Structure 1
Amino acid sequence: MSKQEVSIFWFRRDLRLEDNVGLFQALQSKYSVVPLFIFDDSILDSLPKNDARVGFIHDSLSKINTQLQEIGSSLLVKKGKTFNVWQLLLEEYDVKEVFFNKDYEPYAIQRDTAICELLEANKTIAYSFKDQVIFEEKEISKADGLPYTVYTPFKNKWLEKYKSMAPVQEYDTESYFSNFHKNSFDFPTLEQIGFEQSPIKVKPHNLKFIANYQDIRDFPALDKTSYLSPHLRFGTVSVRKLVNWAFHKNDVFLSELIWREFFMQILFSFPKVVTQNFKSAYDGIQWRNNEEDFKRWCSGTTGYPMVDAGMRQLNETGYMHNRVRMVVASFLCKHLMIQWQWGEAYFAEKLLDYDMSANVGNWQWAAGTGCDAAPYFRVFNPEIQQKKFDEKGIYIRKWIKEFDLGYGKPMVEHAMARDRAIATYKAGILK
């Protein structure tokens, strides 16, 4: 019996049917399109069984599957080592073409290279597309072709290029839905994948506060952020629709989206930043790396209310307000002299919106070791940050229930910690 001739569209960080570049291109194929998602054991094996992000992925895929069922199709969901899954798919189907959107993280690049080699050996044509960013790889570069390592000139070039083509094209995938493969695959439960529901949930994104974003974004008690970051991370929203909309709404909000692409370009161009300082001159810093101090930071029991509220919010919800992220990161690196990689790994475990490029970029920014980072002698004072951005203690009381009962003493005195940090950095920076 001959195998079915099909094209496959492989979902990854683009969990939506609307305005999806790779999917739009796949649906132009002369073969019917099997939509595929692979739960990758290489990633899943290191996660707790109630990881909220896996639950969010599963929920997002379930919505896609429901949409597909309405047109007589469905989503093929597999689990295993990605390479092994593709080997089995090539045995089951006569796969003529494979379409997917690019991912710029080191593991993803390595994985995709291996899969493309496998497809080529099978005489299957692979096509990859830019989808999760407006500009990728080397599209925004200096006159000499080298990548930008300072944000402001990157942003200026980004805006110049965007304005020359604004609005960027959005893709009408819905007009080609009839080209999906007609099938009825069984959609697995979360338990069948080996996971369970988490009490932590990803919130719906909300853009109603964007008009005055610059006035409210630094005040965590207001809780008026967009909650977009997990949706951007997993592609349940289109960055093209978002940028085309934000361009006319708020420059400061748009700048945050450009920061996201700046850090993605840094990760793509300098993959060493995943584990190493961007500025190698900082490799000589003598970190304290005290494990007990780190545990107190993780549990939100440092005695600094702004730090502790942020860490408790993270531990309970998977979110942390952006202003507070800067305070807790600076505290770990500067007050406790614990290297940024420890904090980055903890955030990677806990954040619903964990995105390697932004997480590494922001941690190195706070530590002073990254590109365009805060200078090493800039040490946030958590008490001043609290007075400026949570003067009435509303945010702090929300997350520290015992705050009014006489909160504990700070684990380290600010002036001493600041002096120690500056002296340690100064002595450790390699000439």
Structure 2
Amino acid sequence: MRKYRKTAFIFRRDLRLDDNTGLIEAIKNSELIICCFILDPWILNNPSFHRPNMFQFFRESLLDLERKISSLNGKLFYFYDSNNKVIDSLVEFEKIEAIYCNRDYTKYSINRDIEILESCKKNNTDFYQYNDLLLTEPEKIKNKYGQPYTIFSYFYRSALKIPVNRPQILVTNQKHFRLESSIKKDYDVPSIDFFGSFNPSIDQHGGRAVCEKILAGIEKFKNYKENRDFPYLDSTTKLSPHIKFGNCSIREIYYKILDHFGNSHPLIRQLYWRDFFTHIGYHFPHVFKKPFKVKFQKVKWIYNKNKFLSWCNGMTGFPIVDAGMRQLNSTGNMHNRVRMITASFLVKDLRINWMQGERYFASKLIDYDPCVNNGNWQWVSSTGCDSQPYFRIFNPWLQQKKFDPDCMYIKKWIPELRNISNEVIHNWNEKQINLYHNINYPKPMLEHDFESKVTKEIFSATTRYT
């Protein structure tokens, strides 16, 4: 690879200096680097991208990265414009000879990078992309017919055979390495507050130090398999938003788990589920607008605005469902087991299209990842590539009795029920409400057994006549 006098590195979902594949390659081949973050106005002007909790975490991570670059006598430059215009300006005014970045895999990301490539070609500027986001690249794992895997267990067995690179530490004392601290042209740089309003209740914060602290306490997750399904234990790692924005690399996290627990630990499997759903989104982009299993497009969903809002606001009368939705609305987070319960309730009890729920989660989650969120919703709704069978429906009453037997999680998020006995909460119905008429909490909005039976009949008919 040729050597360059001046290049630019574009940060996206890799907000760190250590083990940043594209940045390390840029350092090896550049005398001077301009560190960039490009915010396309199209994103902020698109209502579907209104995700204040996610942007708050993102903002904190960006500011942390900015401080790290500043400590190396450099600067992170923010550009508020389309990607091609930023590239044109960097070439014209800063005499950039090459652009470096890491790959992403959504349709938006792919189109964005095609735009950057075309701009680089027009400006006679080299463009380099690197594999950094995943443990395994989508082109590297195929079945014996040369097709992408659509069953996770087969994918997982194949993926485990592919070596994962050890993390690389950023070398900051290279003779020719320095970061650009000033640029000649004044760009329209937006305030970081552009990203949205501040949520004081958010329970996960951005920045590499936070992620490193979680990894330093990895021993806490020794019994992850036994404890992860109990929301009151709060025993999940909270690594997902850090993985989403690359505060620590996926390789750093992988090897921390592997070296500590071995490759049979369930957290390793969880990392590969993320790869799997990302591969599905890359190879089958139709999943972002319709079911993976196209036959389920014929399912007749019901949209009732009032029922949907009851679900959104945690007022369904099903305590475990409502506790989860209230946690989400307040903190931008929801326990993984409860995510499945709430999603199943929307799709298979209310029979509201899973895409409505996916969009609502997208608007609230700190760790929103389009491929992972889509994959999880399609798994629950039985429309995905390796989803649960349509006749498997989460019973919210049984789920809360099994995973929140003492109602510790429920009472935390539903203060109306804090003085009610666990037995009553686990059997909440109209009769109980009459005994507690001063409690401002609704009766169950439907009869679960009846609705689940109807849902099974609808899915069965769709399967039978397709």
Taking structure 2 as the reference length, what is the TM-score of the superposition?
Answer: 0.86
Q: CA deviation at 1:219?
A: 0.4
- Structure 1 counterpart of 2:308: 294
Paired residue secondary structure (1:373): coil
Tell me the number of residue pairs that the alignment of Structure 1 and Structure 2 aligns: 423
- Structure 2 counterpart of 1:122: 123
Q: Tell whether 2:241 aligns with 1:230.
A: yes
Amino acid paired to 2:225: Q
Distance 1:213 1:176 in 2: 40
Paired residue secondary structure (1:277): coil
Amino acid paired to 1:190: I
Amino acid paired to 1:158: A
Paired residue secondary structure (1:36): strand
Q: CA deviation at 1:275?
A: 1.1
- Structure 2 counterpart of 1:375: 389
Q: CA deviation at 1:85?
A: 2.5
- Structure 1 counterpart of 2:457: 423
Assess if the C-alpha contact under 8 Å between 1:306 and 1:396 holds in 2. Answer: yes
Change in Cα spacing, 1:43 to 1:50, as seen in structure 2 (3 Å) is closer
Distance 1:299 1:182 in 2: 48
Paired residue secondary structure (2:7): strand
Assess if the C-alpha contact under 8 Å between 1:7 and 1:97 holds in 2. Answer: yes
Change in Cα spacing, 1:14 to 1:176, as seen in structure 2 (3 Å) is farther
| 1:173-184 to 2 correspondences below 5 Å | 173-175=170-172, 179-184=177-182
Equivalent residue in structure 2 for 1:190, among 185, 189, 192: 192
Equivalent residue in structure 2 for 1:328, among 333, 339, 342: 342
Change in Cα spacing, 1:77 to 1:269, as seen in structure 2 (3 Å) is same
Assess if the C-alpha contact under 8 Å between 2:83 and 2:115 holds in 1. Answer: no
| 1:246-257 to 2 correspondences below 5 Å | 246-248=257-259, 249=261, 251-257=265-271
Q: CA deviation at 1:49?
A: 7.8
Worse-superposed segment, 294-303 or 135-144: 135-144
Gaps spanning 5+ residues in structure 2: where? 421-435
Paired residue secondary structure (1:32): strand
Q: Tell whether 2:335 aligns with 1:338.
A: no
- Structure 2 counterpart of 1:25: 25
Equivalent residue in structure 2 for 1:410, among 444, 447, 459: 444
Amino acid paired to 1:392: D
Distance 1:182 1:146 in 2: 44
The CA RMSD measured in Å over matched residues stands at 2.0
1:260-313 Cα deviation digits (max 9, x unpaired):
000000000000001110001111111112221111110111110010000000
Q: CA deviation at 1:402?
A: 0.4
- Structure 1 counterpart of 2:169: 172
- Structure 2 counterpart of 1:145: 146
Distance 2:192 2:14 in 1: 19
Worse-superposed segment, 173-182 or 333-342: 173-182
Change in Cα spacing, 1:176 to 1:284, as seen in structure 2 (3 Å) is farther
Worse-superposed segment, 44-53 or 361-370: 44-53
- Structure 2 counterpart of 1:77: 78
Distance 2:317 2:173 in 1: 58
- Structure 1 counterpart of 2:231: 220
Amino acid paired to 2:126: I
1:167-190 Cα deviation digits (max 9, x unpaired):
x23222234566133414798642
Distance 2:12 2:282 in 1: 18
Worse-superposed segment, 133-142 or 358-367: 133-142
- Structure 1 counterpart of 2:255: 244
Assess if the C-alpha contact under 8 Å between 2:232 and 2:408 holds in 1. Answer: yes
Gaps spanning 5+ residues in structure 1: where? none
Q: CA deviation at 1:65?
A: 1.9
Distance 2:51 2:137 in 1: 33
Taking structure 1 as the reference length, what is the TM-score of the superposition?
Answer: 0.93
**Percent of paired sites with the same residue:** 38
Amino acid paired to 2:450: M
Amino acid paired to 2:413: W
